[in-house]
A and B are shown apart, each in its own frame.
Chain A
Amino acid sequence: MKTLVLAEHNGSAVESATYAAIAAAALIGGVEVLVAGFGCGAAADEAARLEGVDRVLLADAPAYRDQLAENVSALVLSLMPQFDAFIAPTTSRGKGVAPRVAAILDVMQISDIVAVDAPRVFRRPIYAGNAIQTVTSDEAKLVVTVRISAFRSLGVRDGACEIVSVSQAEELGLSELIGSDIVKSDRPELASAKIIVSGGRALRDAETFARTLTPLADRLGAAIGASRAAVDAGYISNEYQVGQTGKIVAPEVYFAIGISGAIQHLAGMKESRVIIAINSDPDAPIFQVADYALVGDLFEAIPEILEHLGA
Protein backbone atom coordinates (compact mmCIF):
# COMPACT_ATOMS: atom_id res chain seq x y z
CA MET A 1 0.00 0.00 0.00
CA LYS A 2 1.12 3.54 -0.67
CA THR A 3 0.53 5.98 2.18
CA LEU A 4 0.43 9.77 2.23
CA VAL A 5 1.42 11.30 5.56
CA LEU A 6 0.45 14.85 6.45
CA ALA A 7 3.47 16.59 7.98
CA GLU A 8 2.94 18.67 11.09
CA HIS A 9 5.34 21.59 10.76
CA ASN A 10 5.73 25.22 11.65
CA GLY A 11 7.06 26.35 8.28
CA SER A 12 10.71 25.97 9.14
CA ALA A 13 10.83 22.66 10.99
CA VAL A 14 8.97 19.37 11.10
CA GLU A 15 7.31 18.76 14.45
CA SER A 16 7.62 15.59 16.48
CA ALA A 17 4.05 14.54 15.69
CA THR A 18 5.17 13.89 12.11
CA TYR A 19 7.75 11.34 13.27
CA ALA A 20 5.05 9.29 15.00
CA ALA A 21 2.76 9.42 11.96
CA ILE A 22 5.61 8.25 9.71
CA ALA A 23 6.44 5.39 12.09
CA ALA A 24 2.81 4.22 11.97
CA ALA A 25 2.58 4.72 8.20
CA ALA A 26 5.68 2.60 7.64
CA LEU A 27 3.80 -0.32 9.23
CA ILE A 28 1.01 0.16 6.69
CA GLY A 29 2.98 0.65 3.47
CA GLY A 30 5.41 2.86 1.55
CA VAL A 31 5.55 6.41 2.90
CA GLU A 32 5.34 9.74 1.11
CA VAL A 33 5.07 12.93 3.14
CA LEU A 34 3.05 16.00 2.25
CA VAL A 35 4.43 19.33 3.45
CA ALA A 36 1.79 22.00 2.82
CA GLY A 37 2.53 25.59 3.74
CA PHE A 38 3.99 28.81 2.44
CA GLY A 39 7.73 29.33 2.48
CA CYS A 40 8.10 25.90 4.03
CA GLY A 41 10.99 24.54 1.96
CA ALA A 42 13.13 24.04 5.07
CA ALA A 43 10.49 21.80 6.60
CA ALA A 44 10.37 19.76 3.37
CA ASP A 45 14.18 19.41 3.41
CA GLU A 46 13.98 18.11 6.95
CA ALA A 47 11.17 15.69 6.08
CA ALA A 48 13.25 14.32 3.18
CA ARG A 49 15.93 13.21 5.64
CA LEU A 50 13.59 11.24 7.86
CA GLU A 51 14.03 7.49 7.97
CA GLY A 52 11.26 5.61 6.19
CA VAL A 53 10.25 8.40 3.80
CA ASP A 54 10.31 7.53 0.07
CA ARG A 55 9.36 10.95 -1.30
CA VAL A 56 8.28 14.39 -0.11
CA LEU A 57 5.47 16.27 -1.81
CA LEU A 58 5.83 20.00 -1.28
CA ALA A 59 2.82 22.27 -1.69
CA ASP A 60 4.26 25.73 -1.19
CA ALA A 61 1.67 28.42 -1.86
CA PRO A 62 -0.10 31.32 -0.13
CA ALA A 63 -3.30 29.24 0.02
CA TYR A 64 -1.54 26.91 2.49
CA ARG A 65 0.12 29.61 4.58
CA ASP A 66 -2.10 29.04 7.61
CA GLN A 67 -2.61 25.34 6.86
CA LEU A 68 -6.37 25.80 6.99
CA ALA A 69 -8.24 22.49 7.04
CA GLU A 70 -10.51 23.29 4.09
CA ASN A 71 -7.68 24.15 1.69
CA VAL A 72 -5.35 21.40 2.87
CA SER A 73 -8.02 18.69 2.70
CA ALA A 74 -8.88 19.75 -0.87
CA LEU A 75 -5.17 19.42 -1.72
CA VAL A 76 -5.00 15.98 -0.11
CA LEU A 77 -8.10 14.88 -2.01
CA SER A 78 -6.47 15.91 -5.27
CA LEU A 79 -3.50 13.65 -4.42
CA MET A 80 -5.44 10.66 -3.12
CA PRO A 81 -5.91 8.93 -6.50
CA GLN A 82 -2.19 8.05 -6.21
CA PHE A 83 -2.43 6.67 -2.67
CA ASP A 84 -4.13 3.87 -0.76
CA ALA A 85 -4.04 5.53 2.63
CA PHE A 86 -3.99 8.99 4.16
CA ILE A 87 -2.36 9.27 7.57
CA ALA A 88 -2.25 12.28 9.86
CA PRO A 89 -1.07 12.72 13.43
CA THR A 90 -3.80 13.24 16.04
CA THR A 91 -3.07 16.95 16.39
CA SER A 92 -5.29 20.00 15.96
CA ARG A 93 -4.37 20.11 12.27
CA GLY A 94 -4.63 16.37 11.67
CA LYS A 95 -8.04 16.29 13.35
CA GLY A 96 -9.17 19.17 11.16
CA VAL A 97 -8.03 17.69 7.84
CA ALA A 98 -8.46 13.90 8.06
CA PRO A 99 -12.25 13.72 8.67
CA ARG A 100 -12.89 16.09 5.74
CA VAL A 101 -10.80 13.85 3.50
CA ALA A 102 -12.57 10.71 4.74
CA ALA A 103 -16.05 12.19 4.27
CA ILE A 104 -15.40 13.18 0.67
CA LEU A 105 -13.70 9.86 -0.12
CA ASP A 106 -16.80 8.30 1.46
CA VAL A 107 -14.81 6.11 3.83
CA MET A 108 -14.76 5.89 7.61
CA GLN A 109 -11.82 7.41 9.40
CA ILE A 110 -10.01 5.31 11.98
CA SER A 111 -9.22 7.76 14.76
CA ASP A 112 -6.24 7.93 17.07
CA ILE A 113 -4.70 4.51 16.56
CA VAL A 114 -2.20 3.24 19.14
CA ALA A 115 -1.07 0.10 17.28
CA VAL A 116 -0.94 -1.38 13.78
CA ASP A 117 -1.55 -5.14 13.98
CA ALA A 118 -1.56 -5.55 10.18
CA PRO A 119 -1.80 -3.01 7.34
CA ARG A 120 -5.60 -2.93 7.69
CA VAL A 121 -5.95 -3.86 11.35
CA PHE A 122 -5.62 -1.21 14.02
CA ARG A 123 -6.05 -0.81 17.74
CA ARG A 124 -7.60 2.30 19.23
CA PRO A 125 -8.76 3.26 22.70
CA ILE A 126 -12.41 4.08 23.38
CA TYR A 127 -14.24 5.21 26.53
CA ALA A 128 -11.32 7.22 27.86
CA GLY A 129 -8.99 4.29 27.36
CA ASN A 130 -11.16 1.97 29.43
CA ALA A 131 -11.44 -0.33 26.44
CA ILE A 132 -9.25 -1.04 23.44
CA GLN A 133 -11.03 -1.67 20.17
CA THR A 134 -9.43 -3.64 17.35
CA VAL A 135 -10.90 -2.50 14.03
CA THR A 136 -10.36 -3.47 10.45
CA SER A 137 -11.35 -1.73 7.25
CA ASP A 138 -11.59 -3.13 3.74
CA GLU A 139 -12.62 0.17 2.19
CA ALA A 140 -10.99 1.40 -1.01
CA LYS A 141 -8.90 3.96 0.84
CA LEU A 142 -7.80 4.16 4.45
CA VAL A 143 -7.92 7.36 6.46
CA VAL A 144 -6.16 7.08 9.81
CA THR A 145 -5.09 9.44 12.59
CA VAL A 146 -2.19 8.40 14.82
CA ARG A 147 -1.73 8.93 18.55
CA ILE A 148 1.64 10.64 18.81
CA SER A 149 2.69 9.15 22.12
CA ALA A 150 2.09 5.59 20.89
CA PHE A 151 4.72 5.46 18.12
CA ARG A 152 8.44 6.00 18.36
CA SER A 153 10.29 8.02 15.73
CA LEU A 154 12.27 6.03 13.15
CA GLY A 155 14.99 8.65 13.31
CA VAL A 156 16.97 10.60 10.73
CA ARG A 157 19.25 9.25 7.97
CA ASP A 158 22.23 10.69 6.12
CA GLY A 159 20.84 11.05 2.63
CA ALA A 160 17.65 12.75 1.53
CA CYS A 161 14.86 11.49 -0.70
CA GLU A 162 13.37 13.32 -3.65
CA ILE A 163 11.20 16.40 -3.10
CA VAL A 164 8.55 17.14 -5.73
CA SER A 165 6.32 20.18 -6.00
CA VAL A 166 2.57 19.67 -6.12
CA SER A 167 1.20 23.22 -6.08
CA GLN A 168 -2.21 23.29 -7.69
CA ALA A 169 -3.19 25.75 -4.99
CA GLU A 170 -6.75 26.74 -4.44
CA GLU A 171 -7.98 29.28 -1.90
CA LEU A 172 -11.48 28.12 -1.07
CA GLY A 173 -12.30 31.07 1.16
CA LEU A 174 -14.19 28.88 3.63
CA SER A 175 -12.18 30.11 6.58
CA GLU A 176 -9.56 32.68 7.34
CA LEU A 177 -7.03 32.92 10.14
CA ILE A 178 -7.33 36.39 11.65
CA GLY A 179 -5.32 35.98 14.81
CA SER A 180 -3.25 33.59 16.81
CA ASP A 181 -1.91 33.40 20.28
CA ILE A 182 0.65 30.64 20.20
CA VAL A 183 2.40 29.91 23.44
CA LYS A 184 6.15 30.15 23.01
CA SER A 185 7.89 28.34 25.77
CA ASP A 186 11.44 27.26 26.45
CA ARG A 187 10.08 24.15 28.09
CA PRO A 188 9.80 20.89 26.21
CA GLU A 189 6.49 20.35 24.42
CA LEU A 190 3.94 18.44 26.45
CA ALA A 191 3.33 15.85 23.73
CA SER A 192 6.96 14.84 23.36
CA ALA A 193 8.45 15.65 26.77
CA LYS A 194 10.45 12.98 28.59
CA ILE A 195 9.35 14.29 31.96
CA ILE A 196 6.08 15.99 32.86
CA VAL A 197 5.24 17.72 36.11
CA SER A 198 1.46 17.96 36.32
CA GLY A 199 -0.59 19.77 38.91
CA GLY A 200 -4.23 19.58 39.95
CA ARG A 201 -6.83 21.50 41.84
CA ALA A 202 -4.75 21.28 45.02
CA LEU A 203 -2.42 23.96 43.61
CA ARG A 204 -4.97 26.61 44.74
CA ASP A 205 -4.56 29.39 42.18
CA ALA A 206 -2.56 30.44 39.13
CA GLU A 207 0.15 32.12 41.15
CA THR A 208 0.62 29.20 43.55
CA PHE A 209 0.52 26.73 40.66
CA ALA A 210 3.37 28.49 38.88
CA ARG A 211 5.37 29.26 42.02
CA THR A 212 5.17 25.66 43.27
CA LEU A 213 5.65 23.64 40.08
CA THR A 214 8.06 25.78 38.07
CA PRO A 215 11.17 25.17 40.20
CA LEU A 216 10.66 21.40 40.04
CA ALA A 217 9.97 21.47 36.29
CA ASP A 218 13.03 23.69 35.76
CA ARG A 219 15.23 21.41 37.83
CA LEU A 220 14.11 18.34 35.85
CA GLY A 221 13.91 20.01 32.44
CA ALA A 222 10.28 18.94 32.41
CA ALA A 223 7.13 20.08 30.65
CA ILE A 224 4.24 21.29 32.79
CA GLY A 225 0.81 19.69 32.63
CA ALA A 226 -2.47 20.05 34.46
CA SER A 227 -5.74 18.35 35.31
CA ARG A 228 -8.96 19.70 33.94
CA ALA A 229 -9.93 20.98 37.36
CA ALA A 230 -6.76 23.09 37.38
CA VAL A 231 -7.52 24.35 33.87
CA ASP A 232 -11.17 25.07 34.68
CA ALA A 233 -10.13 26.99 37.77
CA GLY A 234 -7.86 29.14 35.58
CA TYR A 235 -4.52 28.06 37.11
CA ILE A 236 -3.14 27.49 33.62
CA SER A 237 -4.48 27.54 30.08
CA ASN A 238 -6.29 24.82 28.16
CA GLU A 239 -3.37 23.56 26.07
CA TYR A 240 -1.75 22.14 29.20
CA GLN A 241 -4.66 19.84 30.04
CA VAL A 242 -3.76 16.17 30.12
CA GLY A 243 -6.53 13.61 29.73
CA GLN A 244 -9.31 12.13 27.65
CA THR A 245 -10.39 15.50 26.38
CA GLY A 246 -6.98 17.11 26.67
CA LYS A 247 -3.58 15.89 25.55
CA ILE A 248 -2.51 12.27 25.63
CA VAL A 249 1.04 11.86 26.88
CA ALA A 250 3.41 8.99 27.62
CA PRO A 251 6.63 10.40 29.07
CA GLU A 252 9.40 8.50 30.85
CA VAL A 253 8.29 10.10 34.10
CA TYR A 254 4.90 11.61 34.91
CA PHE A 255 4.54 13.54 38.13
CA ALA A 256 0.92 13.82 39.33
CA ILE A 257 0.86 16.42 42.06
CA GLY A 258 -2.37 17.13 43.92
CA ILE A 259 -4.31 15.29 41.23
CA SER A 260 -6.99 12.83 42.33
CA GLY A 261 -6.71 10.49 39.32
CA ALA A 262 -10.19 10.55 37.76
CA ILE A 263 -10.57 8.13 34.83
CA GLN A 264 -10.61 11.04 32.40
CA HIS A 265 -7.21 12.16 33.67
CA LEU A 266 -5.77 8.64 33.72
CA ALA A 267 -6.83 8.26 30.08
CA GLY A 268 -4.24 10.86 29.18
CA MET A 269 -1.22 9.65 31.14
CA LYS A 270 -1.44 6.04 32.18
CA GLU A 271 0.90 4.87 29.41
CA SER A 272 3.70 6.84 31.06
CA ARG A 273 6.69 4.63 31.89
CA VAL A 274 6.97 5.71 35.52
CA ILE A 275 4.24 7.54 37.42
CA ILE A 276 5.05 9.39 40.63
CA ALA A 277 2.12 10.75 42.65
CA ILE A 278 1.95 13.09 45.59
CA ASN A 279 -1.42 13.38 47.27
CA SER A 280 -2.56 14.04 50.82
CA ASP A 281 -5.38 11.52 50.53
CA PRO A 282 -4.11 7.93 50.93
CA ASP A 283 -7.18 6.68 49.04
CA ALA A 284 -6.76 8.94 46.00
CA PRO A 285 -7.36 6.84 42.85
CA ILE A 286 -4.07 8.09 41.36
CA PHE A 287 -2.29 5.74 43.76
CA GLN A 288 -3.82 2.76 41.95
CA VAL A 289 -1.64 3.49 38.93
CA ALA A 290 1.35 5.21 40.53
CA ASP A 291 4.70 3.41 40.63
CA TYR A 292 5.85 5.63 43.47
CA ALA A 293 3.29 7.09 45.84
CA LEU A 294 3.93 9.71 48.46
CA VAL A 295 1.06 10.42 50.83
CA GLY A 296 1.57 13.95 52.05
CA ASP A 297 1.17 17.66 51.57
CA LEU A 298 2.59 18.75 48.24
CA PHE A 299 3.55 22.15 49.65
CA GLU A 300 5.95 20.42 52.01
CA ALA A 301 7.00 17.61 49.68
CA ILE A 302 8.10 19.65 46.66
CA PRO A 303 10.54 21.92 48.51
CA GLU A 304 11.96 18.84 50.22
CA ILE A 305 12.43 17.02 46.92
CA LEU A 306 14.18 20.06 45.50
CA GLU A 307 16.39 20.25 48.53
CA HIS A 308 17.42 16.60 48.16
CA LEU A 309 18.05 17.08 44.47
CA GLY A 310 20.45 19.79 45.47
CA ALA A 311 18.58 22.47 43.57
Chain B
Amino acid sequence: MSEVPVQSRIVVLVKQVLDANVRPRVRPDGSGVDLANLKLSMNPFDEIALEAAVKLKEQGEAQEVIAITVGRGKAQDTLRAALAMGADRGILVECEPELEPLAVAKAAWSVITDLEPVLVIAGKQAIDDDCHQTGQMLAALLGWGQALCASRIALSHDHAEVDCEVDNGRETLRLPLPAVVTTDLRLNTPRSISLPNLMKAKSKPIDIVASSALEIDVRPRLKIVEVREPRVRSAGVKVETAAEIAKVLKELTVA
Protein backbone atom coordinates (compact mmCIF):
# COMPACT_ATOMS: atom_id res chain seq x y z
CA MET B 1 0.00 0.00 0.00
CA SER B 2 1.29 3.46 -0.86
CA GLU B 3 2.02 6.05 1.83
CA VAL B 4 -0.67 8.45 0.69
CA PRO B 5 -3.54 6.45 -0.71
CA VAL B 6 -4.62 7.78 -4.09
CA GLN B 7 -8.15 6.80 -3.44
CA SER B 8 -8.66 7.44 0.23
CA ARG B 9 -11.61 5.44 1.29
CA ILE B 10 -13.51 5.38 4.54
CA VAL B 11 -15.48 2.27 5.37
CA VAL B 12 -18.41 2.54 7.76
CA LEU B 13 -20.02 -0.48 9.43
CA VAL B 14 -23.77 -0.16 9.65
CA LYS B 15 -26.08 -2.54 11.42
CA GLN B 16 -29.82 -2.95 11.16
CA VAL B 17 -31.36 -3.09 14.63
CA LEU B 18 -34.75 -2.90 16.26
CA ASP B 19 -35.69 0.78 16.26
CA ALA B 20 -34.68 2.47 19.51
CA ASN B 21 -38.26 3.62 20.12
CA VAL B 22 -39.77 0.13 19.92
CA ARG B 23 -40.07 -1.99 23.01
CA PRO B 24 -38.67 -5.47 22.40
CA ARG B 25 -40.81 -8.49 23.18
CA VAL B 26 -39.25 -11.54 24.73
CA ARG B 27 -40.73 -14.76 23.32
CA PRO B 28 -42.64 -16.61 26.04
CA ASP B 29 -40.71 -19.83 25.32
CA GLY B 30 -37.45 -18.10 26.23
CA SER B 31 -35.93 -18.64 22.78
CA GLY B 32 -35.15 -15.01 22.10
CA VAL B 33 -36.55 -11.59 21.25
CA ASP B 34 -39.35 -11.45 18.71
CA LEU B 35 -38.54 -8.99 15.93
CA ALA B 36 -41.31 -10.03 13.52
CA ASN B 37 -43.13 -7.05 11.99
CA LEU B 38 -41.33 -4.54 14.20
CA LYS B 39 -39.69 -1.40 12.86
CA LEU B 40 -35.98 -1.83 12.12
CA SER B 41 -33.59 1.11 11.76
CA MET B 42 -29.93 1.85 11.44
CA ASN B 43 -28.13 1.50 14.78
CA PRO B 44 -28.02 5.09 16.12
CA PHE B 45 -24.25 5.00 16.67
CA ASP B 46 -23.78 3.91 13.06
CA GLU B 47 -25.70 6.99 11.90
CA ILE B 48 -23.14 9.00 13.84
CA ALA B 49 -20.33 6.97 12.20
CA LEU B 50 -21.73 7.60 8.76
CA GLU B 51 -22.22 11.30 9.40
CA ALA B 52 -18.57 11.50 10.49
CA ALA B 53 -17.39 9.78 7.31
CA VAL B 54 -19.53 11.93 5.03
CA LYS B 55 -18.30 15.08 6.77
CA LEU B 56 -14.68 13.99 6.29
CA LYS B 57 -15.43 13.48 2.61
CA GLU B 58 -17.08 16.89 2.38
CA GLN B 59 -13.97 18.39 3.98
CA GLY B 60 -11.85 16.75 1.29
CA GLU B 61 -10.22 14.30 3.69
CA ALA B 62 -11.59 11.28 1.86
CA GLN B 63 -12.74 10.48 -1.62
CA GLU B 64 -15.14 7.64 -1.10
CA VAL B 65 -17.39 6.39 1.69
CA ILE B 66 -18.40 2.74 1.61
CA ALA B 67 -21.05 1.35 3.94
CA ILE B 68 -20.85 -2.33 4.85
CA THR B 69 -23.50 -4.37 6.55
CA VAL B 70 -23.39 -8.01 7.49
CA GLY B 71 -26.70 -9.79 7.68
CA ARG B 72 -29.79 -10.90 5.88
CA GLY B 73 -31.04 -9.57 2.54
CA LYS B 74 -33.37 -7.09 4.17
CA ALA B 75 -30.42 -5.37 5.82
CA GLN B 76 -30.14 -3.70 2.39
CA ASP B 77 -32.73 -1.20 3.67
CA THR B 78 -30.09 0.04 6.08
CA LEU B 79 -27.53 0.28 3.28
CA ARG B 80 -30.02 2.37 1.29
CA ALA B 81 -30.40 4.68 4.27
CA ALA B 82 -26.60 4.93 4.41
CA LEU B 83 -26.47 5.81 0.72
CA ALA B 84 -29.15 8.45 1.26
CA MET B 85 -27.04 9.94 4.05
CA GLY B 86 -24.13 10.29 1.64
CA ALA B 87 -22.29 6.98 1.34
CA ASP B 88 -21.12 6.36 -2.24
CA ARG B 89 -21.74 2.64 -2.31
CA GLY B 90 -22.78 -0.24 -0.16
CA ILE B 91 -21.69 -3.82 0.42
CA LEU B 92 -23.94 -6.47 1.92
CA VAL B 93 -22.18 -9.55 3.21
CA GLU B 94 -25.08 -11.93 3.17
CA CYS B 95 -25.18 -14.33 6.11
CA GLU B 96 -27.61 -16.33 8.14
CA PRO B 97 -28.98 -14.22 10.99
CA GLU B 98 -27.17 -15.87 13.93
CA LEU B 99 -24.18 -13.61 13.73
CA GLU B 100 -21.93 -12.92 16.62
CA PRO B 101 -19.56 -9.92 16.74
CA LEU B 102 -16.60 -12.19 15.94
CA ALA B 103 -18.34 -13.36 12.77
CA VAL B 104 -19.30 -9.79 11.83
CA ALA B 105 -15.72 -8.67 12.43
CA LYS B 106 -14.36 -11.52 10.30
CA ALA B 107 -16.79 -10.83 7.48
CA ALA B 108 -15.92 -7.14 7.53
CA TRP B 109 -12.21 -7.99 7.76
CA SER B 110 -12.22 -10.16 4.67
CA VAL B 111 -14.01 -7.52 2.61
CA ILE B 112 -11.98 -4.60 3.99
CA THR B 113 -8.55 -6.03 3.23
CA ASP B 114 -9.36 -5.71 -0.48
CA LEU B 115 -10.77 -2.20 -0.12
CA GLU B 116 -7.65 -0.80 1.55
CA PRO B 117 -9.45 2.01 3.39
CA VAL B 118 -7.59 4.65 5.39
CA LEU B 119 -10.16 4.47 8.14
CA VAL B 120 -12.96 2.21 9.33
CA ILE B 121 -15.65 3.78 11.49
CA ALA B 122 -18.14 1.69 13.47
CA GLY B 123 -20.59 2.39 16.27
CA LYS B 124 -19.33 1.96 19.83
CA GLN B 125 -22.12 -0.51 20.47
CA ALA B 126 -25.20 -1.85 18.79
CA ILE B 127 -28.29 -1.08 20.85
CA ASP B 128 -29.71 -4.61 20.53
CA ASP B 129 -26.96 -6.92 21.77
CA ASP B 130 -25.01 -4.14 23.51
CA CYS B 131 -21.78 -6.09 22.94
CA HIS B 132 -19.41 -3.17 22.21
CA GLN B 133 -16.76 -5.40 20.71
CA THR B 134 -17.11 -5.56 16.91
CA GLY B 135 -14.88 -2.58 16.06
CA GLN B 136 -12.15 -3.71 18.45
CA MET B 137 -12.23 -7.26 17.08
CA LEU B 138 -11.97 -5.95 13.55
CA ALA B 139 -9.01 -3.74 14.51
CA ALA B 140 -7.25 -6.74 16.08
CA LEU B 141 -7.84 -8.94 13.02
CA LEU B 142 -6.50 -6.22 10.75
CA GLY B 143 -3.57 -5.57 13.08
CA TRP B 144 -4.53 -1.89 13.26
CA GLY B 145 -4.81 0.58 16.08
CA GLN B 146 -8.14 1.55 17.57
CA ALA B 147 -9.77 4.59 19.12
CA LEU B 148 -13.09 3.99 20.86
CA CYS B 149 -16.02 6.24 21.72
CA ALA B 150 -14.80 9.11 19.57
CA SER B 151 -16.09 12.62 20.16
CA ARG B 152 -13.71 14.20 17.61
CA ILE B 153 -11.88 12.76 14.61
CA ALA B 154 -9.25 14.71 12.71
CA LEU B 155 -7.40 13.15 9.76
CA SER B 156 -4.01 14.13 8.45
CA HIS B 157 -2.34 12.37 5.55
CA ASP B 158 -1.02 9.47 7.59
CA HIS B 159 -2.50 9.88 11.07
CA ALA B 160 -5.80 10.25 12.82
CA GLU B 161 -6.19 12.25 15.98
CA VAL B 162 -9.18 11.15 18.00
CA ASP B 163 -10.74 12.37 21.24
CA CYS B 164 -12.09 9.36 23.08
CA GLU B 165 -14.69 9.48 25.84
CA VAL B 166 -13.39 7.34 28.71
CA ASP B 167 -14.90 6.46 32.10
CA ASN B 168 -13.57 9.50 33.89
CA GLY B 169 -13.06 12.04 31.16
CA ARG B 170 -11.40 12.21 27.79
CA GLU B 171 -8.21 10.94 26.16
CA THR B 172 -6.72 12.05 22.88
CA LEU B 173 -5.09 9.32 20.80
CA ARG B 174 -2.94 9.62 17.71
CA LEU B 175 -3.12 6.61 15.43
CA PRO B 176 -1.12 5.83 12.31
CA LEU B 177 -3.48 5.10 9.42
CA PRO B 178 -5.16 2.83 8.61
CA ALA B 179 -7.07 2.52 11.88
CA VAL B 180 -10.45 1.70 13.35
CA VAL B 181 -12.53 4.29 15.20
CA THR B 182 -15.82 3.76 17.04
CA THR B 183 -18.28 6.56 17.66
CA ASP B 184 -19.86 8.14 20.70
CA LEU B 185 -22.83 10.45 20.73
CA ARG B 186 -20.87 13.66 21.19
CA LEU B 187 -19.22 13.26 17.78
CA ASN B 188 -21.99 14.85 15.73
CA THR B 189 -25.70 15.01 15.05
CA PRO B 190 -26.55 12.86 12.05
CA ARG B 191 -28.29 14.68 9.21
CA SER B 192 -31.83 13.74 8.34
CA ILE B 193 -32.41 12.21 4.96
CA SER B 194 -33.94 14.50 2.34
CA LEU B 195 -36.26 13.21 -0.35
CA PRO B 196 -33.91 14.10 -3.25
CA ASN B 197 -31.06 12.27 -1.52
CA LEU B 198 -33.33 9.30 -0.95
CA MET B 199 -34.10 9.24 -4.68
CA LYS B 200 -30.41 9.61 -5.56
CA ALA B 201 -29.58 6.71 -3.27
CA LYS B 202 -31.72 4.42 -5.40
CA SER B 203 -29.20 4.60 -8.21
CA LYS B 204 -26.12 4.08 -6.06
CA PRO B 205 -24.58 0.60 -6.24
CA ILE B 206 -24.90 -2.14 -3.63
CA ASP B 207 -22.67 -5.20 -3.99
CA ILE B 208 -23.84 -8.43 -2.48
CA VAL B 209 -21.20 -10.86 -1.31
CA ALA B 210 -22.20 -14.30 -0.04
CA SER B 211 -20.41 -15.05 3.22
CA SER B 212 -19.89 -18.59 1.90
CA ALA B 213 -17.65 -17.08 -0.77
CA LEU B 214 -15.35 -15.65 1.91
CA GLU B 215 -12.97 -18.04 3.56
CA ILE B 216 -14.22 -17.38 7.06
CA ASP B 217 -16.00 -19.32 9.73
CA VAL B 218 -19.17 -17.52 10.82
CA ARG B 219 -20.72 -20.31 12.88
CA PRO B 220 -22.07 -19.13 16.24
CA ARG B 221 -19.68 -19.95 19.06
CA LEU B 222 -21.96 -19.25 21.98
CA LYS B 223 -25.09 -21.12 22.83
CA ILE B 224 -28.07 -19.12 24.03
CA VAL B 225 -29.64 -21.18 26.79
CA GLU B 226 -32.59 -18.85 27.17
CA VAL B 227 -33.74 -15.26 26.97
CA ARG B 228 -36.02 -14.04 29.73
CA GLU B 229 -37.76 -10.88 30.83
CA PRO B 230 -35.81 -9.17 33.57
CA ARG B 231 -37.11 -9.06 37.11
CA VAL B 232 -39.80 -6.42 37.09
CA ARG B 233 -39.68 -3.60 39.56
CA SER B 234 -43.00 -2.58 40.92
CA ALA B 235 -43.95 1.00 41.43
CA GLY B 236 -43.60 2.12 45.02
CA VAL B 237 -45.43 4.74 46.98
CA LYS B 238 -46.42 8.27 46.11
CA VAL B 239 -45.27 10.76 48.69
CA GLU B 240 -47.10 14.04 49.06
CA THR B 241 -44.39 16.38 50.28
CA ALA B 242 -40.69 17.01 50.06
CA ALA B 243 -40.57 16.58 53.83
CA GLU B 244 -41.46 12.92 53.37
CA ILE B 245 -38.51 12.45 51.01
CA ALA B 246 -36.25 13.93 53.66
CA LYS B 247 -37.74 11.50 56.18
CA VAL B 248 -37.14 8.56 53.85
CA LEU B 249 -33.52 9.62 53.41
CA LYS B 250 -33.07 9.74 57.17
CA GLU B 251 -34.66 6.31 57.56
CA LEU B 252 -32.36 4.91 54.91
CA THR B 253 -29.62 6.39 57.09
CA VAL B 254 -28.01 8.01 54.13
CA ALA B 255 -28.65 11.49 55.47
Contact = CB atoms under 8 A, between A and B. Distances in A.
Nearest to B170: A181
Interface in B207-238: 220-230, 233, 235-238
Given A263-B23, A292-B245, A108 B172 contact: no
B233 A270 contact: yes
A99 B166 contact: no
B172 A253 contact: no
DSSP class of B's interface residues: helix, strand, loop or mixed? mixed
B169 A135 contact: no
Contacts of A135: 222-225
B115 interface: no
A295 B222 CA distance: 46
A43 to B, nearest CB: 16
A95 B239 CA distance: 41
Contacts of A128: 127, 130
Contact of A103 (B18, B131, B136, B174): B136
Contacts of A104: 140-141
Contacts of B165: 92, 238-239
A109 to B, nearest CB: 5
B169 A100 contact: no
Interface in A170-223: 173-183, 189, 191, 194-195, 219-220
B222 A137 contact: yes
A220 B249 contact: yes
A108 B102 contact: yes
B101 A108 contact: yes
B170 A276 contact: no
Given A99-B140, A134-B224, A274-B252, A127 B18 contact: yes
A293 B238 CA distance: 5
A186 B137 CA distance: 36
A194 B252 CA distance: 12
A100 B139 contact: yes
B126 to A, nearest CB: 10
A136 B225 CA distance: 7
Contact of B242 (A91, A244, A300): A300
Interface residues of A, number: 91
A96 B136 contact: yes
A45 B252 CA distance: 36
B215 to A, nearest CB: 14
A91 B165 CA distance: 11
Nearest to B253: A252
Contacts of B129: 111, 126
Nearest to A114: B230
B238 A295 contact: yes
Nearest to A274: B252
Interface of A: 68-70, 73, 91-93, 95-96, 98-104, 106-112, 121, 125-139, 173-183, 189, 191, 194-195, 219-220, 228, 231-232, 237-239, 244-245, 247, 252-253, 263-264, 270, 274-276, 278, 287-296, 300-302, 304-305, 308-309
Of all A-B residue pairs in the complex, the 7 with the closest CB atoms, nearest first, are: A174-B145, A308-B246, A304-B242, A291-B236, A99-B133, A99-B136, A179-B172
8 contacts: A128-B127, A135-B222, A189-B168, A219-B255, A253-B254, A293-B239, A305-B245, A309-B249
Interface of B: 18, 20, 23-24, 26, 33, 45, 100-102, 105, 124-125, 127-141, 143-149, 151, 161, 164-176, 179, 184-186, 220-230, 233, 235-250, 252, 254-255
Given A103-B141, A108-B102, 14 more contacts: A95-B132, A103-B105, A106-B102, A108-B221, A109-B101, A112-B132, A178-B174, A220-B249, A245-B127, A276-B245, A276-B249, A291-B236, A304-B246, A305-B242
